[in-house]
Chains A and B, each alone.
Chain A
Amino acid sequence: MRGRLCVMALGFATVACGGAGDGMTELVVSAASSLTDVFTEIESQFELSHPGVDVILNTGGSSLLREQILGGAPVDVFASASAKVMDAVAEAGLIRGEPEIFALNKLEIGVPLGNPGGVEGLEDFSRDTLLIGLCAPGVPCGDLARDALESAGVAPAVDSEEPNVRALLLKLESGELDAGLVYRTDLLASALVQGLAIPDEFNVSTNYVIGVLAGGSQEEMATEFVSFVMSGTGRAIFTDHGFGVP
């Protein structure tokens, strides 16, 4: 059991390879970077109500998590920041049943505290003098950002394409980037970054989808985990963290 977890130490995903409790049922949950905080709370609540279950949270860019799963990583539950990324896993026949939408999110403009670059809206993303960051193309927050910029008719002068939203947030928090497009919920969670709303006409909301991996050793427990995420308790936790719920 420990051995199979070590296999998952891919890319940014860090999963401890030792110290799993004896006789504990381990449930590996791969969740999009933007879900890091909320799933940490879901994890502890679920473990409280399910003694004997140890949820192992594996976070990363949704597309990286997809590649891990397609590459054979032993994952029980996959929570993706976009339906498109989930579809690739479902098409490979790896999802049991239908993936379900469990939360909604929106992009906002994130700027360091005090807004040193004087950013006012999406049009500032074309200013060459500012340091601008987006998630890389292919990562849900990156695709979403490009959609919003395109519908606003802005050609961004990008200085860095970050592999996931947390990496982008780090560079905004440290003030190294002047502006970036991140999720609304990331801004709520960070005291060092402030947000500017994007007009609804340009913004696209994204659906988070969750699915149980077929053929995992913990399918029953995985199904229970998904039910918990969809339950009233789960929905309340998402709302607390600023997510929308379906």
Chain B
Amino acid sequence: MSSRRTERGNTRSSLPIGLVLLALLAVLLFAVPIVGLVLAAPWGDLGGLLSSETVKDALRLSMFSSIAATVVSGVLGVPLAWLIARARFRGIAFVRSLVLLPLVLPPVVGGAALLFALGRNGVLGGPIFSFSGLVLPFSIWGVIVANTFVAMPFLVISVEGAFRNLDRRFEGAAASLGASRWTVFRRVTLPLIWPSLLSGLLLTWARAFGEFGATLTFAGSLPGRTQTLPLAVFVALESDRDLAVAMSLLMVAVALAVLIVLRDRWWGTS
């Protein structure tokens, strides 16, 4: 690894042209669809389309369920990442693969699996239903479960890496000064992994905000109850294309706004 420092101008001119072209091609891949969306947009009616009840309901459900899934992922995912990074028993590699499975699994498959496990007649959903009368599918709780299932691995994977790379001498020092295990975790470990935790939470939220397949399969689709923005876009694509494009633009705007604001706040602008 050469760390030769060069002036900006020099750096630019020394980039291999082939790499630059490939990179530009990659940028096009991301930019062209957005341009397509912008060109297809019914700009004149945008205000009217986006102020409809369907859109308001879907946006509210999307924000609520994705934030809730992010909170749940944080509360459960950090201890899980810690366990995977630190535990020294045989089955931990298997646990790790299991946790990362939703990253690879098609969301529809995840949704079907959730339905068979947590539905009214599922292995776990059955007892829950007969005990408490709670039905997860077709409710906002089902949406949150589906979102969490699909999105939490992003948090676990980024926080687990941070736990692994942590210099454990800091924790040792705190412990030798008499701090309890819990205090060490809260006051030393957590602050050290903070940047990874934040980026993990951001990725988790982003994945939950865009979740479609698992939600549709597990929680169904009903405007005002379980129909989040991606589901509303999917339905509208077949019946009201202008509305679908308007909602898609709304999703792009929300996602961009969040990414830009958080980037500035957490990682600085440089």
List residues of chain A with CB under 8 Å of any chain B CB: 11, 61, 63-64, 66-67, 131, 133, 136-139, 158-163, 167, 170-171, 174-177
In the complex the two chains form, is B220's CB within 8 Å of A162's CB? Answer: yes
In the complex the two chains form, is B119's CB within 8 Å of A175's CB? Answer: yes
Set A67, A160, A174, A176: member contacting B221, Cβ < 8 A: A160
**Chain A residue at minimum C-beta to C-beta distance from B231:** A163
Given contacts A11-B234, A160-B220, contact A175 B239 (CB under 8 A): no
Give min CB distance, B127 to chain A, whole Å. 15
Give min CB distance, A144 to chain B, whole Å. 15
Closest 7 CB pairs of A and B: A160-B220, A138-B239, A63-B238, A175-B121, A159-B138, A176-B119, A176-B137
B216 CB-CB contact with A under 8 Å:
yes
In the bound complex, CA of A61 to CA of B237 (Å): 12
In the complex the two chains form, is A159's CB within 8 Å of B119's CB? Answer: no
Task: Show 10 residue pairs from A and B whose CB-CB distance is below 8 angstroms, ordered by the A residue.
Answer: A67-B237, A131-B135, A131-B137, A136-B238, A158-B222, A159-B220, A160-B137, A162-B221, A171-B137, A174-B121
In the bound complex, CA of A177 to CA of B219 (Å): 11
In the complex the two chains form, is B238's CB within 8 Å of A61's CB? Answer: yes
In the complex the two chains form, is B221's CB within 8 Å of A138's CB? Answer: no
List, in ascending order, chain B residues with CB within 8 A of A133's CB. Answer: 220
In the bound complex, CA of A87 to CA of B54 (Å): 27
B120 CB-CB contact with A under 8 Å:
yes
Given contact pairs A67-B237, A161-B235, A176-B120, enumerate 5 new A-B contacts (beta carbons under 8 Å). Answer: A63-B239, A138-B239, A139-B238, A162-B220, A174-B116
B115 CB-CB contact with A under 8 Å:
yes
List, in ascending order, chain B residues with CB within 8 A of A163's CB. Answer: 216, 221, 234-235
List, in ascending order, chain A residues with CB within 8 A of B135's CB. Answer: 131
In the bound complex, CA of A22 to CA of B176 (Å): 71
B112 CB-CB contact with A under 8 Å:
yes
List, in ascending order, chain B residues with CB within 8 A of A177's CB. Answer: 138
In the bound complex, CA of A167 to CA of B137 (Å): 14
B43-72 residues with Cβ-Cβ distance < 8 A to A are: none
Give min CB distance, B232 to chain A, whole Å. 11
List, in ascending order, chain A residues with CB within 8 A of B120's CB. Answer: 131, 175-176
**Chain A residue at minimum C-beta to C-beta distance from B106:** A14
B204 CB-CB contact with A under 8 Å:
no
In the complex the two chains form, is B216's CB within 8 Å of A171's CB? Answer: no
B151-202 residues with Cβ-Cβ distance < 8 A to A are: none
Given contacts A170-B112, A175-B120, A176-B121, contact A161 B221 (CB under 8 A): yes
List, in ascending order, chain A residues with CB within 8 A of B221's CB. Answer: 136, 160-163
B148 CB-CB contact with A under 8 Å:
no
Give min CB distance, B39 to chain A, whole Å. 14
In the bound complex, CA of A161 to CA of B115 (Å): 16
Give min CB distance, B125 to chain A, whole Å. 9
Give min CB distance, A28 to chain B, whole Å. 20
List, in ascending order, chain A residues with CB within 8 A of B121's CB. Answer: 174-176
In the complex the two chains form, is B239's CB within 8 Å of A171's CB? Answer: no
**Chain A residue at minimum C-beta to C-beta distance from B235:** A136
B226 CB-CB contact with A under 8 Å:
yes
List, in ascending order, chain B residues with CB within 8 A of A167's CB. Answer: 216-217
List, in ascending order, chain A residues with CB within 8 A of B137's CB. Answer: 131, 160, 171, 176
List, in ascending order, chain B residues with CB within 8 A of A158's CB. Answer: 222
**Chain B residue at minimum C-beta to C-beta distance from A175:** B121
List, in ascending order, chain B residues with CB within 8 A of A170's CB. Answer: 112, 115, 217
